[in-house]
Homo-oligomer: A and B are copies of this chain.
Amino acid sequence: MHELAQRILTGDPRAVARACRLIDERSPDAEALLRALFQKTGRARVIGVTGAPGSGKSTLTDGLVARARARGERVGVLAIDPSSPFTGGALLGDRIRMQRHAADDEVFIRSFGTRGAHGGLARSTTACVQVLDVWGARTIFIETVGVGQVEVDVLDVAETVVVVVVPGMGDDVQANKAGILEIADVFALNKADHAGAERAERELAAALALGRAPVKLAGGHHHSAAPAATPEDTPRIVRTVATREEGLDALLAAIDEHGIWLRTTEPGAERRIARRRASASRQLSELVTARVLDELTPRLAELAARVGEAEIDPHTASEQMLAELREKRRS
């Protein structure tokens, strides 16, 4: 395993692929590897890109990857694909993503399906971020659909979150505005050549001016330790047309600017600490519950069948499992 850590440190992309597979499979080797790598992490910048289905976030991420590469950076991309509820596989494979970077050894791309990743997706993503970090990725993009609890949780590990919006979104998406406002560090108003871009930007700016500070004061997850909004940390809105690669330099500049804010200001530092803690907290919860569930798996199936037949109520069954867990630990 130390050999694999060594290979990652020397920049071997196949070693990264192997490490991510071990992480996915929850191999004990992965744990040993991550322990070995942990002290060498912390150099990469993690950028989250999220938006509704159809907002063009994949194309946008693709363009950002090209620009980061043009600056000579080594780049990692972790794409979260909401997967088939029953097959467990990712729907958009690595192969059809970002084909233009496929031959580039300095770009590592990986897709994660979300099915079956109960409380495990954020953990796997965080672990792969650490591997890519040690591999030498300067920038790591996490692309995820902005709908769904599990899919949004992975953004915990990002220092800057880009929310992709498009003009004329449907009612449901509009209704989601409060959530979008809270999570965004930078907005990409994509498909800015479509009708209604002007109006969408105006509405977004107005919502930001009105909504951000009070929502923050309400106290939330990531921002709970952060101060109230100041003009400096109000998210910038950048117009893009990802399919024509328009606005991407400006978008990257806005991302960089946010990174500088995080590193050079007091509220920025507080934000970083709060996010790091939130991410660590989730990672710890996931590790602990995964371990407990692993121990319980065989008994779970048995008791679930009995609950399904209404022979026993779920609360009694869960207490029985906890009692057995306790006994096991004692022995």
Contact = CB atoms under 8 A, between A and B. Distances in A.
Interface of A: 31, 34-35, 38-39, 41-42, 52-54, 82-88, 91-92, 114-119, 121, 145, 147-153, 169-173, 175-176, 178-179, 182-183, 215-216, 218, 220-223, 273, 276-281, 283-285, 287-289, 291-293, 296, 300-301, 303-305, 307-310, 313-318, 321-322, 325-326, 329-330
Contacts of A325: 288
Contact of A172 (B87, B145, B276): B145
B35 A87 contact: no
Given A149-B115, A149-B148, A176 B280 contact: no
B35 A85 contact: no
B182 A87 contact: yes
- Identical subunits present: 2
Nearest to A91: B175
A91 B179 contact: yes
B119 A118 contact: yes
A170 B118 CA distance: 27
Contact of A149 (B149, B169, B303, B308): B149
A207 to B, nearest CB: 13
B147 A150 contact: no
B273 A308 contact: yes
Nearest to A215: B87
Contacts of A85: 152, 179, 182-183, 220-222
B220 A313 contact: no
Given A35-B316, A221-B86, A310-B39, A285 B276 contact: no
B149 A147 contact: no
Given A287-B315, A313-B35, A87 B220 contact: yes
A324 B215 CA distance: 37
A200 to B, nearest CB: 16
A66 to B, nearest CB: 20
